[in-house]
Amino acid sequence: MSVVAIIPARWGSTRFPGKPLAAIAGKPMIQHVWERVSAADGVDDVIVAHDDQRIGAVIEALGGRARMTRGDHETGSDRLAEVAERLDHDIVINVQGDVPLVRPEDLTALAQLLRDEPGVQVASLCYPMSAAEAENPHHVKVVCAANGDALYFSRSPIPYPRDAAAARYLHHVGIFAYRRETLLGFTSLPVPDEERAEGLEQLRLLAAGIAIRMIEVEPTGPGVDTPDELAQVEAILAG
């Protein structure tokens, strides 16, 4: 059972244009992501899916694989599916190009879960967070069933802390592993009102009755959406 990790990287971020090539500790951010993903055991291939040849040139200079994609995709999953459609790997892992602190062992765990559990179609990651962090709408939260399947994702604090001592918050890490056929079917699923309201595309899967199995991991470093977060990541890498 073969596994490919695809890294969507978009040049035209409204908040941070050219983000994939922003320098962190002397390297473009996309290089940090590509190197960490390439180090994951159980991942057979790594491809950067980009919309600007400047990104592709960096990856190709490293000896990596890059694929140009259309510039009109509404979601990262759509960009992912465009590349996956031309591949024959059984499992596709989606790693965003703005997570330079991604841990290779977390990707290995996702790949192994789908190898070991044939009934699991989609898997993702989460970790515990504080009540104060849960108030931030930029931090996506997830509530899980006893078997680890996601019940709901939200930008709001979930569960609601009527009993604050009982409320446990899980931060969703936006890395997904899909069976190829499930990913290719994603683009034809209807978009539910919840996805439009929350701005969270994974709710499309739940609305369609496709379970997402969560793996709880150690807290991870921040992703990069703004220049300020870029500076935070650089400080972490500097030790």
Who contacts 158 (Cβ-Cβ below 8 Å, separation ≥6)? Answer: 141, 142, 143, 152, 169
194-211 residue pLDDT tens? 999 999 999 999 999 999
pLDDT at 215 over 90: yes
Give me the residue label for tokens 């024959």.
88
Q: Indicate the pTM of the whole model.
A: 0.95
Q: Specify the DSSP class assigned to residue 165.
A: G
The average pLDDT across 71-75 equals 76
CA 26 to chain centre: 24
- Which CATH architecture does the domain made up of 3-237 adopt? Alpha-Beta Complex (3.90)
Burial of 70 (0-12, 13-18, 19+ CB in 10 A): exposed
Strand segments (E) across the chain = 3-9, 23-24, 27-28, 45-50, 65-68, 91-94, 122-129, 141-144, 150-154, 169-179, 212-216
Q: How many residues does the chain have?
A: 239
75-93 residue pLDDT tens? 778 889 999 999 999 999 9
126-143 residue pLDDT tens? 999 999 999 999 899 999
pLDDT at 174 over 80: yes
